[in-house]
Structure 1
Amino acid sequence: MSSSANIPTAAVTQTHFAIDAVNQVRRIAERGKYDKATVFDIVDRALIAHVAFVEDGRPVVIPMTCARWGDELLIHGARKSRIQQAVADMPVCITVTLLDALIYARSIFHSSMNYRSVVVHGIARVIQDEAEKLRALEAMSDHLMPGRWQEVRPPLSKELKATEVQRVEILFASAKIRAVGVLDDKADYTPEQWESTWAGVVPLAMGRGRPLTDSSVVSGVEPPRSVVRAN
């Protein structure tokens, strides 16, 4: 299956992704964003992405780490894993979502979430050059654990051989953001309708907890700068 036959050529500018049938936000279109600044900000804040691809004619979605590398995305895994074998030089769709709040409306129909999400369509290509592969792995490490790469031993040759890194060329991307409060029907604001029903916003946040030192660590070895700074 030809990758070019599945995703049209994109007209990406320096600041915006092209709007096409592939990535156009249709439902509540005003929440759609196509500028790179917004898309990349959401991607940079996410720790988990969902990567969708087609394997043997079936749709497959796998959650995995993902990091931005300039105008591209990086994914990695075991060389023999199903995703690494299935997506090389093929179209993929990658999504990330940040949940910001639960919206408690006066009806279940209008209850919702505040969120920031991104959908990316692109082509995954294996990084063959070992030096470039190392730089890509460092970028992924710094996305999850900034500074940790410099604190631990470098990857062994057998580890690099067992790991495959793919760079995803972004052809189309869009963000969709909900950042408003309760949007109830007018009828539900009248005293006659659910006068005593509470409505509002419950913020959600993901944070790092207190570091728990592994039992194998020698007594007196404190959490390094990368851990302290992250917390």
Structure 2
Amino acid sequence: MRGAAATAALVIAGVAYSSWVFDFIVPTGRDRFRSFLSELEEPDVPCHRVYEYGDIVAGGAAVAAALILVTLGLRGVGARTAVAAVGVFGVATVADALSPMGTAPLVHAATSAIAVFSLFVTMIAATWSAYREGSWPILKTSGAAVFALVTVATGWMLGSDRLQGDYLLGLAQRIQVGSMSVWLIVWGISLSVGTWWSTRPGPNPRPEPRTR
């Protein structure tokens, strides 16, 4: 039951963290290839509460997932680090939503950096745990592929921010955040699969041959 609750919390976090796709339903007028996602939460943006509440729900769900996972008694440094880091991500994401870029730019910059860094730590630790500690088997394949996409998009963002010219920084961020959302969902699914795999009955042992 707790495993299913943790899965649900991670899936909710992933879905809510992608609230920026609502911009495709109700356009805000922002350039999706060049604007930052934080701009969607500015008071002058139509339906800005959707993006603000999306981050609050995502952060709250991530914290809930971390608290539930702690009760499962996960073993291994990688698994425990991933759980702690996703909890920090959740807190920072809520704080980020409550500190808009236009009204509290310094706080917003700090909370955004902490949220992204914490989620990176989560992905690295969870992937390492999948390979070295046998946790969450799907993270060895699908999770690793999504993590690679996050890494490429992040490199694109960092490079674009330091170079002069039009490098579609907004598009890079949308790919980064979208991939992070997918990764959280994949982690949640992997948690359920891992729990099922570890609790399913094994094959019946063969009977020992009789000897005279």
Q: Give the alignment's TM-score, normalised by structure 1.
A: 0.23
| Bigger Rg over Cα | 1
Tell me the TM-score normalised to structure 2 length.
0.24
The structure with more strand, counted as a fraction of residues = 1
